[in-house]
Structure formats: structure tokens, C-alpha cells
Structure 1
């Protein structure tokens, strides 16, 4: 039966602002992508989220993005490859330090929001991201949109790459995620999400919003922790996967019972 990692973006509160139900979501996932303070998060939130992930035996990942708190990192910014490299080292280094201070270790890196989407189609941005991750620790696993420039750049950098698919997002004909401004971008119905995930696992493809089939490699599956009802959504998806005989497992973490 297939094996897949189940990841979620979290640690996205900051100051008095609270977002997501991280501790509840952690019960159902195997990897946590923790905001690094640029698009969301702050030092106290990073430490608390890392500590919760260590307690839950969930793999710790850094989730770097553009420096854009007001836009939640979902607005593209015009940065040079050198600037992309620098902001990535800065952010990943912060989460890595907290992971080690809490008795854990950093396992992977996944870019956030607009940075992720830009790098998925722009090889220069993807290469800068992967160079930063490689220079921090060659053993880190790089999460990238299945079939995108992120995967190509990770391979060129000699990084292990987990190709990512999404339970709660729809796809375009070219394999890109549907932009969030499109009302079809999010999947909020659990049954539709489970059907999409099982098709990706069994057939290695996903149907786009226009009806086209897109090839995918489902190594790691994402749900967004900031959506309403994220914990219940995560529980339903993980429960359906287990019921179908799918093993949910992150690198270095034992399968969930």
C-alpha cells in the first residue's frame, strides 16, 4: 500500500494575533511547516510550535516566505536571487536554532505562499532557495510542488526532495495551484478532498479545474492550517487514508497508528 507524509503549515500567530489550531492539527499530521517570522510568526510562537511538534513526534520544518506580514506572504516581491538566498538562510536558521534548543532537529524546508508559487515556475528563484537550504544542511529535505521548478532545482542542488500535493487546493492545467483570487482555489468539502487525494495516490494524477489530467508524484500531502475547521479537516483526511490502508509517515518518524 502507498506511503505518504502528511504536512500542515502552522505557527502563523504573532503578537496578540492568533491563527490556526496548531495543537489539534498536530494530532493528525506527520510534518509541521513552521512560519519563520517574515510572513507570520514571532520568536515566542516559533518556540511554542516547535516544542509542540517535538512533543507530538512530528517532523519539524521551516516555512520561509516573503517579508510581508500585512499580506501574509501571499503577494509576490521583486527580489534578486541573492536576496532570496539571504532571507531563506535567515528564516531557516531561526527555526533550526529553536528546534535544537527544544531537543529536536530541523527535518525539512518548504517555502510559503507567493515565494513558493513564484519559485515553482521561476528556476532562478528556486535555485536560490535550494542553494540556501543546501548551505545550511545538505541533509534537509526540500518540499516542492510536484513537477515544478522547485523539484528540478532541489535535484540540481543535490537535495532530497519530497514532491508535494494538496488536499485542499485545486490545480490548473499546467500543474500550478489555482490562484487564491479564483473562487475555485480552495477545496472545503472533505469528501472532495479525500477523493482528490486517493486519485493522486492510486493514479499519480489529479484533475484540473478545467477537467484536464495532470501527472503528480505524491510524496507529501499538505493541508493549510489557517483555514476554518482545519483540525476536523485534517482528522477526516488522515482517517480516510488509514481506512484505505495508506501509511502516513514522515522521514525519520514512525508511522502513525
Structure 2
């Protein structure tokens, strides 16, 4: 039996603007990365998303971004390691209050967008965030989006980390991701094949046909992909066929 987590970025709507299909997607995942109010989300959306996760027994983590709602946290910002650490701590604290309100265990941290890129490119920024996490709660899990960040997590004996794979985005030969400007419909069966390959073999095919090692214990599905629910249904069919067990991060670590 292989255990795997399915995580999804959620709670990124705010005000009258809607992002993703949280209610439709939540029943199919095991961990939710919930926006902390900087790149997306607001207090009401945060509360509603935590409550939805609790209803479906889904693990909750914060998806902190840079303070840039107009750019959806995807624009670069000149911020020191200490400033980025504080951004994460602030958003973590806000979301954790809603988790406490609903009796939900807070399990992980997964940085978003330009913040993730900053941590990937700068070990000093990555260390500042990780040390900030440990200062608040050393039981938290860091969900590492690429190998650069994952290698920095290994410097900390007290920090649990999980490497993350992607099945609805394509990989370059260097294991970097090809991020679309606008999400496109994906073939559910092809995505499900990639899911099984990562879950059971730890490999995925790059755009040039090369086989890449992706030692992931968690796989990200993007809820704003137009046919995300069809993709998740196809994945769940494969889970049943291949003796794969879906589990939240805190049960895998």
C-alpha cells in the first residue's frame, strides 16, 4: 500500500472576486493550502474555507504570499529575509485563529507564487522562513515545491518536510515547471497516468520525453484548472485500481 497526499491551493477568493472551485474540489483532496489574505483570501473566505476543510476531514495549511493582491502574489518584490519571514508569520497567525475556532489541527506551510520563487532562488530567504516556522510551531510540515527548497529544509533536524509533485503542469528536463499564464483543460486520463507514475514509481515524463525522478509524497492539483473535478475523479479511479491510499500530510510524515 502506497500512501500519497493530494493538496490544492484554496481560499484565494476575496470580496466579490471568485477564484477556483473550492466546494467542488474539497471532497477529493486530503490537504488544503489556504491563502492567508495577502495574495488572495479575506477573513470571511478564510473562515469559510477552514470550515469546509473540517467538514471533509481535510488537513489544513497556510498558503502565504507576498502582500500584492492586485498581482495575485506573482510579481517580484524587493523584500529582506526578515520581512518575508514576518509575512509568513502574520498570515500563519491569522489562519491558525480560524483553525482554532473550528477545532482544526494546523498541519503545514506552502509558500505561494513569487514568494516561493524567492525562497527557491535565495537560501537566506528560505532559511528565514523555515526558522520563523520553527519559532512558532516545530510540529509544522514544510511542503517543498522544488528541490532547491527541499535541500534547505534538510539543514533543520526539527523541521519535517515533504516534497511535492505536479501532474497538471508539465516539467522541463531540469525539473522546473512550465507554468501557464492561463489554466487550460487537461486530459484527465493523462493526468491520472502521471499521478500513478509519481505515486508508485517516483518518476514523471518531461516535455522532451526524458524520465525525471520526482520523490514526492504529496501531489498538487490546481483547483482553477477548468476541468479539475474531472481530473480528480479520474485520479480517484486510479487510486482504487493501484492500491494507493490517500492521506493528509500529518499522517504521512
**TM-score, reference length from structure 2:** 0.92
Alignment-derived partner of residue 45 in structure 1: 45
Alignment-derived partner of residue 199 in structure 1: 197
* Partner SS state of residue 26, structure 1: helix
CA distance in 2, matches of 1:239, 1:23: 20
Say if 1:165 and 1:248 are closer, same or farther in 2 by CA, change over 3 A: same
Offset of residue 162 of structure 1: 1.0
Offset of residue 130 of structure 1: 1.2
Matches within 5 A, 1:71-90: 71-90=71-90
Pairing 1:239–2:237 present: yes
8 Å contact 2:185–2:225 — kept in the other structure? no
Offset of residue 114 of structure 1: 2.1
Unaligned runs of 5+ in 1: none
Unaligned runs of 5+ in 2: none
> Please, what is the CA RMSD of the aligned residues?
1.9
Alignment-derived partner of residue 156 in structure 1: 155
The 10-residue stretch of structure 1 (121-130 or 190-199) with the greater mean CA deviation from structure 2: 121-130
Alignment-derived partner of residue 227 in structure 1: 225
CA distance in 2, matches of 1:70, 1:127: 27
Q: Which runs of 4+ in 1 moved over 3 A?
A: 251-254
Alignment-derived partner of residue 111 in structure 2: 111
CA distance in 2, matches of 1:57, 1:35: 18
Offset of residue 177 of structure 1: 1.2
8 Å contact 2:192–2:231 — kept in the other structure? no
CA distance in 2, matches of 1:136, 1:190: 39
**TM-score, reference length from structure 1:** 0.91
* Partner SS state of residue 224, structure 1: coil
* Partner SS state of residue 37, structure 2: coil
Aligned length: 251
